[in-house]
Structure 1
């Protein structure tokens, strides 16, 4: 009788997979619609990144129209699962030979930027009385690769939605401000195009923001800026691994412990290796880049939906001071480093 009841339950009801898909569908549809809008604007204005547009559009939507609770599971799925897949595919943009071609001196500068930026950000945030998880996300976002770093690090810390939203909001604000600042400052200081490009790649938060600033400086600057930025992106894997190990030690046997090396980090490294050894055809690389852009744009839409004015008002001015100071430290280390190494 029990077996017949189970059979009727499975035959009359939906499968677990279908129920899960139905649960995430509303939120996924909202994030997809925002991502599609951002992509359309990017098509008309290619200089504007669809990822940044998605965050801004989603933040505007979230502050004008209350997002229904039914969208919650799909938004969470987009901000966590889709983002991690997108970050893993980001490895397909990395050719290790290009990064190593920067030379030992520049690579040492990249390590100094990331480690120095995170350390300074944590100290500044502590002095301002900001909770550890929040100041860590802000520090990593400013020092590594923007919102993708925020989301990656969030998975191995005890950060909440407010911490993540605050960090994403500061990354968008200060990274965008840096787009005109670096080219103008480079010109005022009389830096060569190559040096200015390396400074942009070493100091600006998002890859898309680096592309925008590098393009304003010049063609050769753009190439160097992107390669230096991708070298910083490579630092995401070891940083997340170190933070994951630290969290496991703090957690001990109580509660859920994060994996030593998260799966998306393994995927990122695997994609970078596959791209670097040259076994992937151009079609696969191109398709991977499109998939990565789509997934990250949808994920940025989900993150943007968490950026609400009431949250920003509630967290106060301190995170913005930390973000501004950390941005200045990262830019200072980058400038000093490229001038010495260049």
Structure 2
């Protein structure tokens, strides 16, 4: 890295208020499993198409033969110091879960928790404005919300959308023989770690903002393709964690070909220099035993596989005959780095990473 990003808001740094940033704030997968153990009981109406059974991206409730409601919520602490960009990133990340189910967002509610006595009102207003602007791009209103005074700054959204019941795409629908396609390159957690240490270049910062504020709009069109069997978005548990969720849901094995996985510029070298989030190691501790890493992989592969992706890309499991159409959807909507990264096979629900 040749240049250090100068923070235009110095000496105020939003990230200094929080113990973790972005999707790196998520509870570690192993701990989360313990918390949720046995919580699937209670009243489950037949209209609930998707609940918590496969750790999917959103809940889906059938309204009628033509419409199902997609509902999700996501919020976290600052991943960047610019309040406006923090609001944009958090909103983009929250809306992504609706796209990941194949839904079209229709409305959002804001979740705002701020240290009111420590942050200027103008800064809090910029966070909210960033979220509003992303919702405007997505074509949805922020129709309400809730605010509280908090020790750490937290912002996010509840998002609702609509989807035809026949076009709901779960993370559990993969089939043996499917091809895996990833919509965005990896490395967001690495860039955020460098930013927090004030060692991120201007180019790296632009990359970080560009990828985390790019709405996963291809999800709507992808759900309309017959050959697309499963969808999810790669967020806080990293590519390995979300690929494992896909494998577990389908009862099949996922295979990732590491040489085909797209990476953000420079992140491989940055990992080698030690820019890794604590969430990456927590992720690996939670599911690493289920991942088979081939000999000869780069020493940085494990950290990048478990790197938490705030507002990461869509992971698609599709029939081999649908790959061209899937990539065209991504290309047409500006996702130039979308790539085939692996496949789904018969076998126990584990992840194998080859060279």
Q: TM-score of the superposition, structure 1-length normalised?
A: 0.27
- Compare relative contact order (CA 8 Å, sep 6+) and give the higher one, 1 or 2: 1
Q: TM-score of the superposition, structure 2-length normalised?
A: 0.26
Query: Which of the two has higher C-alpha Rg?
Result: 1
**Greater fraction of residues in strand:** 2
